[in-house]
Amino acid sequence: MTKKHYSAVVFDLDGTLLNTLTDLHASVNIALDHYGMPPRTMDEVRTFLGNGYLYLIAHCVPYNTPDEKVAEVLEYFEKYYYSHSMDTTCPYEGIPEVVETLAKDGYKLAIVSNKGMAAVKELAEHFFKNTIKVAIGESSDVRRKPAPDAALLGMRLLGVSKEESLYVGDSEVDIATAKNAGIDCLSVSWGFRTREHLEKNGAVDIIDKPSEIVDFLK
């Protein structure tokens, strides 16, 4: 990718800024157990993350579970997870310093996630209150990623163009989202997908530690 002068960074949340896997895994299994369904391993849950809550639950419940029951499990999961989304969740090592540096250097920052809107707002407020002012999650008004809607809304709220924006994410969903939104993508290997998986899904630029975000933007 030809280096450009970016003025904004649009971040994915889960697997990019925050390690949310343990809380998500626990919440999924609490919901499954409530309905007498077998648990899922952490690796299984990891592979289903990135496409929103419905996708996650639909792939975690047993095969051929009726849609009505999937909806019940989803509702239970959402309520439980919202109350436990910060039990163990924390930023990846180095992320707070990187976000602080970018904000101090004048970059406009946003979060765009397929996580539910309420949880996204709460996590952004808790972990990035003074640095990231725009946080967008899944809602009925905005199509979930990889549709470009959330990324485009984030850029609009930041007041920046596609050419000024860099998207940073950890999955194939993020790669597709950036492509659909017409913006450059920087993939990270510390999240829920491996470097090999990212490469197979079209990643152009991949970094292995948060500090490389700052280096990439120089």
* Catalytic residue list contains 23: no
Neighbours of 4 (CB within 10 A): 12
Helices (H) and strands (E) in the chain, counts: 10, 8
CATH number of the 21-84 domain = 1.10.150.240
DSSP states along 76-95: HHHHHHHHHTTSS-EEPTTH
pLDDT for the residue 26: 99
In the chain, where are the structural domains located? Answer: 8-19+90-217, 21-84
pLDDT of res. 116? 87
Q: What does DSSP say about strands 18-19 and 134-138: parallel, antiparallel, or unpaired?
A: unpaired
Give the pLDDT confidence score for residue 3 in this predicted structure: 57
- At residue 5, the pLDDT reads 87
Phi, psi angle pair for 184, to nearest 5°: -70, 150
**Residue pLDDT tens, the chain, 218 long:** 455 789 999 999 999 999 999 999 999 999 999 999 999 999 999 999 999 999 999 999 999 999 999 999 999 999 999 999 999 999 999 999 999 999 999 999 999 999 989 999 999 999 999 999 999 998 888 999 999 999 999 999 999 999 999 999 999 999 999 999 999 999 999 999 999 999 999 999 999 999 999 999 98
- Other CB atoms within 10 A of residue 32 CB: 20
Yes or no: domain 8-19+90-217 corresponds to CATH 3.40.50.1000: yes
Active-site residue (options: 12, 23, 149, 184): 12
SS (H, E, C) 11-39: ECCECCCEECHHHHHHHHHHHHHHCCCCC
